[in-house]
A and B are shown apart, each in its own frame.
Chain A
Amino acid sequence: MAYTTENNQSGLMAKAIKEGIFAGLIAFGMFLLFVGIETYQDINNQLVWRTRWGLLAVFVAVAAIGRFVTVGFIKPHLDARKLAKAKTGVLEISDKKSFFHRHFLKIALVFLLCYPFLAMLIVGRQGSLKYVDNFGIQILIYVMLAWGLNIVVGLAGLLDLGYVAFYAVGAYSYALLSSYFGFSFWLLLPMAGILAALWGVILGFPVLRLRGDYLAIVTLAFGEIIRLVLINWTDVTRGTFGVSGIAKASFFGIWSFDVGAANNFNKAWGLPSSSVYYKMFLFYIILALCMLTAYVTIRLRRMPIGRAWEALREDEIACRSLGINTVTTKLTAFATGAMFGGFAGSFFAARQGFVSPESFVFLESAVILAIVVLGGMGSLTGIAIAAVVMVGGTELLREMEFLKHIFGPDFTPELYRMLLFGLAMIIVMLFKPRGFVGTREPTAFLKERKAVSGSFTKEGHG
């Protein structure tokens, strides 16, 4: 017995070494040209090259050692743990939840309500600007967008790769209507939502017959068409220059946040002049919008239309044969999702004070869809967690000044933002293909409500 384990052990090591060398060779082949050689323009603007063997060696070593450790140590360890668990017969899901787990939503909400004040208390007025704006508002915009897209993808099972189009419609509705007609934010916020919903119906109507991947591609095409029109219709949208000087949101028309205005918010309340109060105000607006999205989603899931969406996702043919009108069901899903995208868009325009087609590229759609899927489609909490991890994580990279001390002053962590984002998407999917939150709470149940595994819900075929 002892002999066989030892034999297995040495066999495992031999295998690990072999796989490690193989991975190293593959990495050498892959990175030889792209990492081993650097191309750059010299003073004469001539393209020349130089070698970077050191960096290439690092890449190859990381691949080889990583593979060796995975095959030799991590995988046997994981297998052994799985086996031990299977033997004891204890299931991973336990009924008992910790206090934090049970009251997670309440705690999170209270934290969010206090967040701007906490930030101000801890890092001071000017220091908190970054935390409220770059982290708070930025993440909440993505939470709202992802929750909006969740209605289309997670509930109705319609794969939409052009969601950013509705975001753009909302942003440009606010930007253009406020700069041409001078309407206020509070009037244009619902109008942007309605316009985006209208576009949702317009774009949704022709694609109703399509399923699955075809739907995804047509929505991608529509998203690109809207962006290209925004770029090229220069008379109205000013093309790539974008619309700037967009009016700020006011405190329900009572106080203004413009510095020169007579009813300036800071003056009225005797506060020192600082843009942080406006940012805090914006934080609460987007928080309220997010809560609205969540509330509507949760309520709709309990209403006939929400049930129809989920039925459509599970089985379209059964749905149709039971007399559900799939046309209106799909259109309402598109319109509702688009409406929230429109709200988020008009908020975005008010916050930035500037919109340009650059903000509405396909990458944004991909990021929003990635958040929805990584969070576990249909789970609002999971999506919010995914947004915090993915958006907050990439924002955090901007702050990593200490990395400059390690890698030298030329090192700009921002450059690696999207690279890491892409890699994170792959890694999360590989380890958690069902997303961060793998369980679902059904809205319809017999006798008692039980969380079911996400594997039992379908992703829909459009």
Chain B
Amino acid sequence: MVRPLKDRIRGKYMEYFIQQLINGLTLGSIYGLVAIGYTMVYGIIGMINFAHGDIFMLGGFAALIIFLILTSFFAGIPVALLLLLMLLVGMLMTGLWNWTIERVAYRPLRGSFRLAPLITAIGMSIALSNFIQVTQGPRNKPIPPLVTDTYHFGDITISLKQILIVVITSILLFAFWYIVNKTPLGRAQRATEQDRKMAALLGVDVDKTISITFIMGAALAAVAGAMYLMYYGVASFNDGFIPGVKAFTAAVLGGIGSLPGAVLGGLLIGLIESLWSAYFSIAYKDVATFAILAIVLIFKPTGILGRPEVEKV
């Protein structure tokens, strides 16, 4: 019989702490992936993409539906292939969605005043979550656990899905870092971010670059959504909001516009959340996250790794 966690770790403060650290790291990886989408869009067009949390939710739903279809047709499909297909189709799907959303709701307002795209983004967020509620029903959608293996190191338990999440996140982050820093596309993105007009004058296709940025952000959010589904085993139409706000918090905490900052922020938010739940109270874990966001912004508005903003007259 497995004793409850509280009994097993009684008196073993270090093990308990490390266990929470691992949980926080897993959660933080997911937040970090979503945060990248926020930070890139904010960096390139200076807009809070409120619908990004719902793109994350769409990614989770795409993975869920692919999972259902594949398992009903091919009962004995290897888990690795299943996961890979879930991720790939989800990335494709949400990429297409975010491309369309940018094209329809944000691009026509690019030259307009600052609040206009913010309002369409909020509208899009409301519309997306309610679209899923209408088409897929309001109830939670549970799936059977995909990956169940766990490993024990003394009293610390690490599950395979936690390892998978951290490994997939690391691979994607490396790929992303490479794209943004070493390829012509990344150069175009950085140029557009610094000065859109100048980049256009020098032959960068600004519209295309922004579209690709949205697709990339959505692809990462889809991976995060699929892993969120794998980790918790349940998807719901309003899953977008709270993780979305937390990921945005992560992006701001790390310094908005900075890619490493988004990841760092995500990990910190994940750690704060799991440590706060472990040592203080689960009920107030979101309060802790938001309070830390407020405190960081008040004392260091540019975040941890953000560039200081120069006030132009």
Q: Does A354 contact B (CB under 8 A)?
A: no
A221 touches which of B119, B133, B293, B311 (Cβ 8 Å): B293
A206, B294: Cβ atoms closer than 8 Å: yes
Does B31 lie at the interface of the complex (its beta carbon under 8 Å from any beta carbon of A)?
A: no
Chain B residue with the shortest CB-CB distance to A220: B245
Q: Are B119 and A374 in contact (CB under 8 A)?
A: yes
Determine whether the beta carbon of A47 is less than 8 Å from that of B142. Answer: yes
- Interface residue count for A (Cβ, 8 Å)? 61
Contact partner, A430, options B66, B105, B126, B137, Cβ 8 Å:
B105
Bound Cα distance from A231 to B125, whole angstroms: 24
Instruction: Choose from B114, B118, B127, B290 the contact partner of A419 (Cβ within 8 Å).
Output: B127
A229 touches B287 (CB 8 A): yes
Docked Cα-Cα span, A366 to B126, in Å, equals: 9
Q: Which of B261-313 contact A (CB under 8 A)?
A: 283-284, 286-287, 290-291, 293-294, 297-298, 301, 311, 313
Q: Which of B72, B97, B125, B137 is A422 in contact with, Cβ under 8 Å?
A: B125
Do A429 and B141 touch across chains, with their CB atoms under 8 A apart?
no
Interface bits B86-124 vs A (CB < 8 Å: 1, else 0): 000100010011001000110011001111101110111
Contact flags A424-462 to B (C-beta < 8 A → 1, else 0): 111001100110000000000000000000010011000
Pick the interface stretch among B56-64, B148-156, B163-171, B180-188.
Answer: B56-64
Quick check: B137 and A217 within 8 Å, CB to CB? Answer: no
Residue A319 at the chain B interface, CB threshold 8 Å: no
| Band of interface residues on B | 35 or more
**Contact across chains for A369 and B119 when beta carbons are under 8 A apart:** yes
What are 19 A-B residue pairs whose CB atoms fall within 8 Å in the complex? A29-B93, A38-B136, A41-B139, A159-B115, A159-B118, A209-B298, A213-B48, A217-B249, A218-B297, A218-B298, A224-B290, A370-B123, A373-B119, A415-B134, A422-B124, A422-B127, A423-B127, A424-B123, A430-B108
The 6 closest A-B pairs by CB, nearest first: A425-B123, A422-B127, A422-B126, A419-B130, A221-B290, A232-B283
Interface residues of A (CB under 8 A from B): 26, 29-30, 33-35, 37-41, 47-49, 159, 206-207, 209-214, 216-218, 220-222, 224-225, 228-229, 231-232, 317, 362-363, 366, 369-370, 373-374, 377, 415-416, 418-419, 421-426, 429-430, 433-434, 455, 458-459
Chain B residues within CB distance 8 Å of chain A: 42, 48, 58, 61-62, 64-66, 68-69, 72, 89, 93, 96-97, 100, 104-105, 108-109, 112-116, 118-120, 122-128, 130-137, 139, 141-143, 241, 245, 248-249, 252, 283-284, 286-287, 290-291, 293-294, 297-298, 301, 311, 313
